[in-house]
A and B are shown apart, each in its own frame.
Chain A
Amino acid sequence: MTAKKFFHSVYLNEERCRGCLNCIKRCPTQAIRVRNGRANIISEYCIDCGECIRQCPHHAKMTKHDHLDVLEQFEYTVAIPAPSLYSQFNHLTDTNIVLTALLMMGFDDVFEVSGAAELVSEATRKYIKAHPEKWPLISTACPTIERLIRVKFPNLLNHLLPILPPMEAAAMLARKKAIRESGLMSSQIGIIFISPCPSKATFVQEPLGTEKSQVDAVLSIKDVYPELLSYMKEAERQPKNLSISGKIGVGWGISGGEAAGTLTNDYLAADGIENVMRVLEDLEDEKFQADLAFIELNACNGGCVGGVLNVENPYIAKAKIKQLNKYMQVSKSRASEYTEYGSPNSLFWTKPIEYEPVYQLGSNMMESFANLSAVEKLLKQLPGLDCGACGAPTCRALAEDIVMGKNDAKKDNCIYLLRNYYDTLKNSPLFKEEKNDNSGTDPSGSI
C-alpha cells in the first residue's frame, strides 16, 4: 500500500484540536483516535467523507485545497463549477449569471460540470440497458462512496458503474476545448474545479478509475462564493450565454438527481453516509426483493449540496436547485455534439477499483483468527460502554488496537480498568499498611 493510495484532503489542525471525543464517535469508518490530547486520523480507514469537519466544535478538521491565487499559475484558466454552486445563491433564475460572474472573477472560460453530467447520464442509460447482469449498478459519482466500497464491501465492486464522475468528464472536455481555442500547450492551461467537498479534492490527487485526473486545481465553493457575489449584480445585467446544461445536469447537485437522469423508475437513491452504509449492507446480504437497475448513493445529506465546503444549508440549497431547474429544458448536452472531443468511450474507466482489505486483524487467516480470539477475550474485561474516553470510538476498537499493537493503545487507556486496578491496589494489605504507618488515618479517606 503506497502512501499515495490513501492520500487525504481532510487533515487536523493540531493547534485547534482540544482532544475532545466528538469526532471519534461520529466517524463512520472509525478512523480517528484521540491520543495525547490530539485527534489522529488513520489514513487507511479515512474515506474523506467530511463528517469530522462537520462535527468538530473547534474547527480543527481542515480541508486541503487550492486558493484563489492558483489562477496566476496558468496562462489560461477554465472554471468547472459543480452544480451545487448554483444552489448557494438566493433567487437565482439563470445559471448564466453565475457563469458570467466566474469570467468576471478572472477565469478565461467556464465549462459546466452539469453539462458533462448530462453526457455521463447518457452513457449511464446505455450502460444500464446493455448490462442487466450487473444490476443494480451503483453510482460512482461520489468518491467517498467508492472509497467506502473499496475498503468495506468487496462483494459489491463488480456493481460499480465504470464511468468517470462528471467532474472528470468536464475536465477532459474543457481541456480539449481550451487547447483548441487558446492555441496553448496543455501545461499552460489550468482546469479548476469549484468543489462542494474535500472528497473531490482527494479524487484529483488520488483518482479512481483512471491513472491521472485532468483537474489541475480545486477551489472550495466557500472561498469562491464571496468573490462571486461581488460580480453577480453586474453579471445579471448582461449574462453571457454560457450554459450547456438543463434540468438533468443541474439536478445532479441533489440526491436523486443522478438517478432521475437514468430515466428509469427502478432505482433507489440514498444520501447521508450512515444511510448509505445500511443500504450497502442490505444489498450485500441480498435483502432487496425488488429488481433495481440503479442505485445512487451520496455520502452527504441531501446530495452534493450537503458537502462541507458549501455555504448554504443543504436542504435550503436542495429547494433552490428545484426552483432553479423547474423550467429548464430537460437536457442540453449530448454525446453526438462532442464527437470531435473524442469517443464517448473516453468517459469510461481505464482501470478497475480493487478491494483494499485495510480492516484485517492479521496478515493471513490464521493470524486474524488468533487475533479475533484475543480481541473477544479482551472485550470481556472491558466495560462495554463505548464511552470513547480511551480515545477509541468503541470498546471493540480499543481491544482491536491493543491486540494489533496499533494506534498507541494500552489497557490503561480504559478509565474503568484503571479504576478497578486502583481499587485493587487500595484494598491490598500492602497499601493499607503503608497508609497506617504514614498517617494513621482511615484508609477509606473519611475524616
Chain B
Amino acid sequence: MENKIHFQYLIDGDDFTRAGEASSDIKSKLKMMNINPDAVRRVAIAMYEGEINMIIHADGGTIDVDVYPDKLTMVLKDTGPGIPDIDKAMEEGYSTAPDNIVSLGFGAGMGLPNMKRASDEMEISSVVGQGTTVTMTVLF
C-alpha cells in the first residue's frame, strides 16, 4: 500500500463564489476516514482561509494535499504579487484586501492568523512579484 493519498485542486481566481469548494471536498473525504473530527475541522478551516487568500490576492493557484495515516500536509502555491512583510501579514487585523472584497465581509485580516491557529505547522515562503507558497500540516 502506498503511504499517502494525493489530491490536487486548481483554484480558479476568477470566480469568488467558488471559494471553499476544495476545502469542502477534502473535508467530506476526511470525514469518512476515522480521523478525529477536530482535526478534520481544522484542515477545512485552514484550507478554506488559504483558498480565500489565493482568490483575493493572487488570482488563484494550486493546492496539493497529501493525506498520510497520521497527518495531512497541504501546499498552497500561487504566482501572485507575493507578501512583502510576512510578519506584518501574520498580525491579526492587518489586511491588504481591496475594498470590493471587504464589502463582501472578507478581508478582516484574520486569514493567515486563522491558518496558523488551525494548523499544527505552517511555513510561508514568498517572493515579491513571483508568488507565495504556504505549507501547512495538520496532525491527526
Contact = CB atoms under 8 A, between A and B. Distances in A.
Interface of A: 152, 154-155, 281, 284-287, 289, 355, 357, 359-370, 372-373, 376, 400
A373 B1 contact: yes
B131 to A, nearest CB: 26
A281 B20 CA distance: 10
Nearest to A365: B34
Interface stretch (B25-33, B79-87, B92-100, B120-128): B25-33
Which of B5, B20, B24 has the most A CB atoms < 10 Å from its CB? Answer: B5
A1 to B, nearest CB: 15
Contact of A369 (B27, B33, B38): B33
B48 A285 contact: yes
Contacts of B38: 155
A376 B48 contact: no
A376 B35 CA distance: 18
Nearest to B105: A289
A369 to B, nearest CB: 5
Given A284-B44, A285-B44, A289-B108, A368 B33 contact: yes
Interface of B: 1-2, 5, 20, 23-24, 27, 29, 31-35, 37-38, 40-41, 44-45, 48, 67, 69, 105, 108, 114, 140
29 contacts: A155-B41, A281-B27, A284-B27, A284-B44, A285-B24, A285-B44, A285-B48, A289-B108, A355-B37, A357-B34, A359-B31, A359-B32, A360-B32, A360-B34, A361-B32, A364-B34, A365-B35, A365-B69, A365-B140, A366-B69, A368-B35, A369-B5, A369-B33, A370-B1, A372-B5, A372-B29, A372-B32, A376-B5, A400-B32
Contact of B20 (A154, A285, A365, A366): A285
Contacts of A152: 31
B24 A281 contact: yes
B32 A285 contact: no
Contact of A154 (B37, B67, B69, B105): B37
A284 B20 CA distance: 12
Given A365-B140, A372-B29, A285 B41 contact: yes
Contacts of A284: 27, 41, 44
Given A285-B44, A289-B105, A368 B34 contact: yes
B37 to A, nearest CB: 4
A366 B37 CA distance: 16
Given A281-B24, A365-B140, A376-B5, A155 B37 contact: yes
B33 A365 contact: yes
Contacts of A364: 34
Given A285-B20, A365-B140, A368-B34, 8 more contacts: A285-B24, A285-B45, A287-B48, A362-B34, A368-B35, A370-B1, A373-B2, A373-B5
Contacts of B44: 284-285
A369 B38 CA distance: 18
A435 B108 CA distance: 72
A296 to B, nearest CB: 22
B135 to A, nearest CB: 20
B19 to A, nearest CB: 10
B71 to A, nearest CB: 11
Nearest 7 CB-CB pairs, A to B? A154-B37, A368-B33, A361-B32, A365-B34, A155-B41, A285-B44, A368-B34
A281 B31 CA distance: 12
Contacts of A289: 105, 108
Nearest to B33: A368
Contacts of B114: 286
A98 B34 CA distance: 51
A182 to B, nearest CB: 48
A337 B46 CA distance: 50
Nearest to A154: B37
B7 to A, nearest CB: 8
Which of A289, A359, A365 has the most B CB atoms < 10 Å from its CB? Answer: A365
A371 to B, nearest CB: 8
A289 B49 CA distance: 13
B69 A285 contact: no
A368 B69 CA distance: 9
Given A357-B34, A362-B34, A376-B5, A286 B45 contact: yes
Nearest to B3: A369
A369 B67 contact: yes
Contacts of A360: 32-34
Nearest to A374: B1
Nearest to B41: A155
Nearest to A373: B5
Contacts of A286: 45, 114
A131 to B, nearest CB: 20
A152 to B, nearest CB: 7
A167 to B, nearest CB: 29
B44 to A, nearest CB: 5
Contacts of A372: 5, 29, 32-33, 67
Contacts of B31: 152, 359
